[in-house]
């Protein structure tokens, strides 16, 4: 079910790690950001939009991870945008005849049979210097960086002060670094600095996974993410409540240890 979180902004939360699909209302229809995850959920999302009398006029993928580049025919044959780097990464993946087999290991087994793959990744890259979404709706500023993935972008909906953060600023997931990057720690800290630069404009934050937060929660998550990354940089064990072996997302402990190991191999952590 769509939930209105700000004027002109609605969110649909998936069962899969609280994945958020974001709808922004425009003059002639809506912008659909990161729709997912299962066929049934997408059908419900399309039905909710019809009940609101809204059609999709454009889409946007915040980054090239599989769960952010899905689509269904019910949303329409409309432009699906991403940053130039995001689109290039997807084009590289889809150029392989076995791309489905490459994606498969990352799919959650309990949902794998219900994830629509036919239209995955068909994203058009915006110009490299693009700073706005080209559509007939509220001004949406593109904050591109490389904290989590190539061409990752957060979107600041200026009229409502809503920051659509992609896979960052989550209340349930600690930072997942792009460990293929040359300098993943500095990339992440630079992105957090970018968010800090617009902090006075942010009234609400929508993470790719987790709960929608207000301005105070945005600042708290920004500080918590920075503390986690700085701990990785300094070779310290982070004091982060999201890494809880007794919690529902107990497997985050393994993800954290894997990040520590990979960074040590790259020479970026002494732990």
**pLDDT string in tens for the chain (271-residue length):** 899 999 999 999 998 899 999 999 999 999 999 998 999 999 999 999 999 999 999 999 999 999 999 999 999 999 999 999 999 999 999 999 999 999 999 898 888 889 999 999 999 999 999 999 999 999 999 999 999 999 999 999 999 999 999 999 999 999 999 999 999 999 999 999 999 999 999 999 999 999 999 999 999 999 999 999 999 999 999 999 999 999 899 999 999 999 999 999 987 544 4
Evaluate whether residue 17 is within a structural domain. yes
d(CA 231, CA 237): 6
A 10 A CB-CB count for 216 gives: 8
**The predicted structure's pLDDT at residue 268:** 58
Q: 175: number of CA atoms within 13 Å, CB side?
A: 30
Evaluate whether residue 62 is within a structural domain. yes
Evaluate whether residue 205 is within a structural domain. yes
Length of the chain: 271
Q: Is the peptide bond before 262 cis (omega within 30 degrees of 0)?
A: no
**The predicted structure's pLDDT at residue 270:** 40
State how many domains the chain has: 1
DSSP string computed for 51-66: HTT--EEEEE-SSSSG
**The predicted structure's pLDDT at residue 3:** 94
- For residue 22, the surrounding DSSP H or E stretch is strand 20-25
Domain that holds residue 194: 2-168+183-213
- Angle (CA) 91-107-71 rounded to 5° is 55
- Given a contact cutoff of 8 angstroms between Cβ atoms, the answer to whether 129 and 169 are in contact is no
- Angle (CA) 199-255-165 rounded to 5° is 25
| Phi, psi (degrees; rounded to nearest 5) at 156 | -105, 110
DSSP string computed for 138-205: S-EEEEEE-SSSTTEEEEEETTTTEEE-SSSS-SSS-----TTSSSHHHHHHHHHHHHHHTGGG-SEE
Evaluate whether residue 221 is within a structural domain. no
Instruction: Show the tokens assigned to 171.
Output: 């209340």
Q: Closest by alpha carbon to 269, among 220, 219, 232, 217?
A: 232
CATH classification of the domain holding 26: 3.60.15.10
Evaluate whether residue 125 is within a structural domain. yes
Evaluate whether residue 239 is within a structural domain. no
Evaluate whether residue 224 is within a structural domain. no
- Given a contact cutoff of 8 angstroms between Cβ atoms, the answer to whether 227 and 242 are in contact is no
d(CA 90, CA 84): 10
Evaluate whether residue 50 is within a structural domain. yes
């Amino acid at each position: 079910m769509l939930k209105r979180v700000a004027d002109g902004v609605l969110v649909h939360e998936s069962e899969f790690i609280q994945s958020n699909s974001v709808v922004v209302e425009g003059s002639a229809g809506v912008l659909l950001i990161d729709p997912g995850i299962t066929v049934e959920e997408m059908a419900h999302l399309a039905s909710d939009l019809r009940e609101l009398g809204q059609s999709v006029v454009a889409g946007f993928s915040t980054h090239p991870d599989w769960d952010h580049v899905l689509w269904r025919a019910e949303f329409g044959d409309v432009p699906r945008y991403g940053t130039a780097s995001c689109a290039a990464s997807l084009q590289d993946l889809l150029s392989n005849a076995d791309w489905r087999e490459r994606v498969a290991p990352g799919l959650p087994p309990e949902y794998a049979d219900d994830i629509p793959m036919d239209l995955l990744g068909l994203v058009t890259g915006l110009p490299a210097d693009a700073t706005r979404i080209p559509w007939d709706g509220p001004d949406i500023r593109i904050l591109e960086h490389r904290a989590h993935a190539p061409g990752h972008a957060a979107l600041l909906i200026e009229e409502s002060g809503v920051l659509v953060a992609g896979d960052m600023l989550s209340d349930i997931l600690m930072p997942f670094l792009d460990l293929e990057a040359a300098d993943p720690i500095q990339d992440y800290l630079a992105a957090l600095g970018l968010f800090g630069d617009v902090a006075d404009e942010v009234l609400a934050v929508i993470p790719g996974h987790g709960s929608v937060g207000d301005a105070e929660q945005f600042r708290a998550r920004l500080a918590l993410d920075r503390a986690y990354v700085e701990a990785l940089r300094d070779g310290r064990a982070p004091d982060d409540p999201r890494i809880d072996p007794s919690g529902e997302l107990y497997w985050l402990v393994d993800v954290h240890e894997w990040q520590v190991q990979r960074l040590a191999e790259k020479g970026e952590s002494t732990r």
